[in-house]
Amino acid sequence: MIFMFSSCKKNSSSYEYPEEQDFTTVYGIVMDVSTLQPISESIVKIYKGQCPGAFGVYGSFLEDTVGPQGGYYFHFNQHKDTCYNLVAESKGYYGIEGVGSSITYPMAQGSGQEAIKKGFENNMDIYLVPIGWLKLRIVNENKLYQSISFNKESPDGTSHISFSGLDLDTTILTRKYGNYSNVVAYFSGVKRIGIDTIFVEAHDTTAFTILY
Protein backbone atom coordinates (compact mmCIF):
# COMPACT_ATOMS: atom_id res chain seq x y z
CA MET A 1 0.00 0.00 0.00
CA ILE A 2 2.84 2.39 0.80
CA PHE A 3 4.39 1.71 -2.60
CA MET A 4 1.09 2.31 -4.43
CA PHE A 5 0.52 5.71 -2.84
CA SER A 6 4.10 6.90 -3.32
CA SER A 7 4.06 6.05 -7.03
CA CYS A 8 1.11 8.33 -7.86
CA LYS A 9 2.36 11.70 -9.05
CA LYS A 10 0.13 14.11 -10.98
CA ASN A 11 0.40 17.74 -11.89
CA SER A 12 -2.24 20.40 -11.19
CA SER A 13 -4.27 19.45 -14.28
CA SER A 14 -4.48 15.79 -13.13
CA TYR A 15 -2.48 14.63 -16.17
CA GLU A 16 0.06 12.02 -15.12
CA TYR A 17 3.54 12.77 -16.47
CA PRO A 18 6.75 10.77 -16.01
CA GLU A 19 9.82 12.38 -14.50
CA GLU A 20 11.23 15.28 -16.55
CA GLN A 21 13.73 14.25 -19.24
CA ASP A 22 16.40 15.97 -21.32
CA PHE A 23 14.24 15.43 -24.41
CA THR A 24 10.62 15.95 -25.40
CA THR A 25 8.31 13.43 -27.08
CA VAL A 26 5.04 14.32 -28.80
CA TYR A 27 2.78 11.71 -30.36
CA GLY A 28 -0.88 11.04 -31.10
CA ILE A 29 -3.50 10.49 -33.79
CA VAL A 30 -5.07 13.07 -36.12
CA MET A 31 -8.83 12.44 -36.26
CA ASP A 32 -12.02 13.78 -37.82
CA VAL A 33 -13.91 15.34 -34.90
CA SER A 34 -17.30 14.33 -36.31
CA THR A 35 -16.51 10.65 -36.90
CA LEU A 36 -13.44 10.06 -34.68
CA GLN A 37 -11.83 8.29 -37.65
CA PRO A 38 -8.11 8.81 -38.42
CA ILE A 39 -7.28 11.32 -41.14
CA SER A 40 -4.62 10.00 -43.49
CA GLU A 41 -2.08 12.19 -45.28
CA SER A 42 -2.34 14.96 -42.69
CA ILE A 43 0.64 17.17 -41.92
CA VAL A 44 1.65 17.80 -38.31
CA LYS A 45 4.21 20.47 -37.46
CA ILE A 46 5.93 21.56 -34.26
CA TYR A 47 6.90 25.21 -34.38
CA LYS A 48 9.66 26.42 -32.10
CA GLY A 49 10.54 29.98 -31.25
CA GLN A 50 11.87 32.20 -28.51
CA CYS A 51 9.75 32.53 -25.36
CA PRO A 52 7.69 34.56 -25.05
CA GLY A 53 6.84 35.25 -28.66
CA ALA A 54 4.15 35.38 -31.29
CA PHE A 55 3.43 31.85 -32.46
CA GLY A 56 3.59 31.38 -36.21
CA VAL A 57 5.33 34.67 -36.95
CA TYR A 58 8.87 33.30 -36.83
CA GLY A 59 10.85 30.23 -35.84
CA SER A 60 11.72 26.90 -37.39
CA PHE A 61 9.64 23.74 -37.22
CA LEU A 62 9.69 19.95 -37.33
CA GLU A 63 7.27 18.20 -39.70
CA ASP A 64 5.72 14.77 -39.98
CA THR A 65 3.28 13.45 -42.62
CA VAL A 66 0.96 10.88 -41.07
CA GLY A 67 -0.01 7.62 -42.73
CA PRO A 68 -3.36 5.80 -43.17
CA GLN A 69 -3.82 5.33 -39.41
CA GLY A 70 -3.36 9.04 -38.68
CA GLY A 71 -0.51 8.59 -36.23
CA TYR A 72 2.39 11.02 -35.78
CA TYR A 73 5.49 11.00 -33.60
CA PHE A 74 8.20 13.52 -32.64
CA HIS A 75 11.22 13.00 -30.38
CA PHE A 76 13.64 15.91 -30.05
CA ASN A 77 16.07 17.63 -27.72
CA GLN A 78 14.55 20.60 -25.98
CA HIS A 79 16.26 23.97 -25.97
CA LYS A 80 16.43 26.53 -23.20
CA ASP A 81 14.09 29.54 -23.56
CA THR A 82 12.32 27.87 -26.51
CA CYS A 83 8.55 27.45 -26.81
CA TYR A 84 6.92 24.72 -28.89
CA ASN A 85 3.47 24.63 -30.47
CA LEU A 86 1.70 21.82 -32.29
CA VAL A 87 -0.13 22.50 -35.56
CA ALA A 88 -2.03 20.08 -37.79
CA GLU A 89 -3.50 20.54 -41.23
CA SER A 90 -5.28 18.36 -43.75
CA LYS A 91 -7.05 19.05 -47.02
CA GLY A 92 -10.79 19.49 -46.50
CA TYR A 93 -10.54 20.37 -42.81
CA TYR A 94 -10.50 23.42 -40.59
CA GLY A 95 -7.72 23.62 -38.02
CA ILE A 96 -5.00 24.68 -40.46
CA GLU A 97 -2.32 27.15 -39.41
CA GLY A 98 -3.77 30.35 -37.98
CA VAL A 99 -7.31 28.95 -37.93
CA GLY A 100 -7.33 26.25 -35.28
CA SER A 101 -7.50 28.58 -32.30
CA SER A 102 -10.87 29.94 -33.46
CA ILE A 103 -12.60 26.58 -33.96
CA THR A 104 -15.62 26.18 -31.67
CA TYR A 105 -17.06 22.92 -33.04
CA PRO A 106 -17.96 20.58 -30.12
CA MET A 107 -15.08 18.32 -29.05
CA ALA A 108 -12.61 20.33 -31.11
CA GLN A 109 -10.47 21.30 -28.14
CA GLY A 110 -7.40 19.73 -29.74
CA SER A 111 -7.86 21.08 -33.21
CA GLY A 112 -5.33 23.33 -34.84
CA GLN A 113 -2.92 24.68 -32.23
CA GLU A 114 -1.85 23.31 -28.87
CA ALA A 115 1.08 23.96 -26.55
CA ILE A 116 3.66 21.29 -25.74
CA LYS A 117 5.01 20.53 -22.27
CA LYS A 118 8.80 20.48 -22.59
CA GLY A 119 10.79 17.61 -21.14
CA PHE A 120 7.90 15.13 -21.03
CA GLU A 121 6.05 12.60 -23.14
CA ASN A 122 3.05 14.45 -24.60
CA ASN A 123 0.21 12.20 -25.78
CA MET A 124 -1.83 14.66 -27.86
CA ASP A 125 -4.57 13.45 -30.20
CA ILE A 126 -5.67 16.15 -32.65
CA TYR A 127 -9.28 16.62 -33.78
CA LEU A 128 -9.83 18.49 -37.04
CA VAL A 129 -13.20 19.86 -38.14
CA PRO A 130 -14.36 18.79 -41.63
CA ILE A 131 -15.39 21.39 -44.19
CA GLY A 132 -18.78 21.22 -45.90
CA TRP A 133 -20.27 23.43 -48.60
CA LEU A 134 -23.68 25.08 -48.44
CA LYS A 135 -25.29 26.10 -51.73
CA LEU A 136 -27.69 28.89 -50.83
CA ARG A 137 -30.44 30.17 -53.08
CA ILE A 138 -31.61 33.56 -51.75
CA VAL A 139 -35.04 34.78 -52.85
CA ASN A 140 -36.79 38.02 -51.85
CA GLU A 141 -40.20 36.40 -51.90
CA ASN A 142 -42.16 38.83 -49.72
CA LYS A 143 -40.49 41.95 -51.14
CA LEU A 144 -40.54 43.61 -47.73
CA TYR A 145 -36.82 44.29 -47.42
CA GLN A 146 -34.52 46.11 -49.81
CA SER A 147 -31.33 44.44 -48.50
CA ILE A 148 -30.11 41.22 -46.90
CA SER A 149 -26.76 40.25 -45.36
CA PHE A 150 -25.38 37.17 -43.59
CA ASN A 151 -22.13 35.36 -42.79
CA LYS A 152 -20.61 33.92 -45.94
CA GLU A 153 -17.44 31.83 -45.57
CA SER A 154 -16.68 31.41 -41.89
CA PRO A 155 -19.10 29.65 -39.52
CA ASP A 156 -18.13 32.05 -36.73
CA GLY A 157 -19.60 34.95 -38.74
CA THR A 158 -16.42 36.93 -39.33
CA SER A 159 -16.98 37.18 -43.08
CA HIS A 160 -20.19 38.71 -44.42
CA ILE A 161 -21.87 39.23 -47.77
CA SER A 162 -24.71 41.61 -48.67
CA PHE A 163 -27.29 41.81 -51.44
CA SER A 164 -30.02 44.30 -52.33
CA GLY A 165 -33.08 44.45 -54.55
CA LEU A 166 -36.77 43.65 -54.21
CA ASP A 167 -36.48 41.13 -57.06
CA LEU A 168 -33.43 39.36 -55.67
CA ASP A 169 -33.06 35.70 -56.69
CA THR A 170 -29.44 34.54 -56.56
CA THR A 171 -27.35 31.51 -55.55
CA ILE A 172 -24.00 31.44 -53.76
CA LEU A 173 -21.70 28.77 -52.33
CA THR A 174 -20.64 29.14 -48.68
CA ARG A 175 -18.21 27.17 -46.52
CA LYS A 176 -19.50 25.68 -43.24
CA TYR A 177 -18.70 23.03 -40.61
CA GLY A 178 -19.22 19.55 -42.09
CA ASN A 179 -21.40 16.91 -40.38
CA TYR A 180 -22.81 19.70 -38.25
CA SER A 181 -26.01 21.75 -37.87
CA ASN A 182 -24.88 25.25 -38.79
CA VAL A 183 -26.88 28.31 -37.77
CA VAL A 184 -27.37 30.86 -40.56
CA ALA A 185 -28.83 34.20 -39.50
CA TYR A 186 -29.63 36.97 -41.96
CA PHE A 187 -30.29 40.66 -41.52
CA SER A 188 -31.71 43.72 -43.20
CA GLY A 189 -29.62 46.55 -41.83
CA VAL A 190 -29.36 45.85 -38.09
CA LYS A 191 -32.66 43.97 -37.92
CA ARG A 192 -32.52 40.19 -37.95
CA ILE A 193 -35.19 38.99 -40.37
CA GLY A 194 -34.58 35.26 -40.18
CA ILE A 195 -32.53 32.38 -38.85
CA ASP A 196 -32.15 28.80 -40.08
CA THR A 197 -30.36 25.72 -38.74
CA ILE A 198 -28.96 23.68 -41.62
CA PHE A 199 -27.17 20.34 -41.37
CA VAL A 200 -24.26 20.37 -43.81
CA GLU A 201 -22.63 17.14 -45.00
CA ALA A 202 -18.85 16.93 -44.69
CA HIS A 203 -16.82 17.17 -47.92
CA ASP A 204 -20.05 17.57 -49.89
CA THR A 205 -22.48 20.27 -51.01
CA THR A 206 -25.86 20.76 -49.30
CA ALA A 207 -28.52 22.83 -51.08
CA PHE A 208 -30.85 25.15 -49.17
CA THR A 209 -33.19 28.04 -50.09
CA ILE A 210 -33.70 31.19 -48.02
CA LEU A 211 -37.06 32.88 -48.62
CA TYR A 212 -37.48 36.28 -46.98
Q: Which amino acid is at 145?
A: Y
pTM to 2 decimals? 0.74
Strand partners, 76: 24
Q: Domains in the chain, ordered, with CATH?
A: 18-128 (2.60.40.2190), 131-211 (2.60.40)
pLDDT for residue 7:
32
Rounded Cα distance, 75 and 63, in Å: 11
Residue among 42, 45, 56, 46 nearest 93 (CA): 42
Task: Give, in order, the Cα–Cα distances in Å from 27 to each of 72, 120, 123, 165.
Answer: 5, 11, 5, 54
* Order of strands across the sheet that contains 191-200: 160-164, 147-151, 180-188, 191-200
Question: Mean pLDDT over all residues of the chain?
Answer: 77
pLDDT for residue 82:
75
pLDDT for residue 52:
59
User: How far is C-alpha 205 from the chain's CA centre?
Assistant: 20
> Which stretches of the chain drop beneath a pLDDT of 70?
1-21, 50-60, 80, 95-115, 153-158
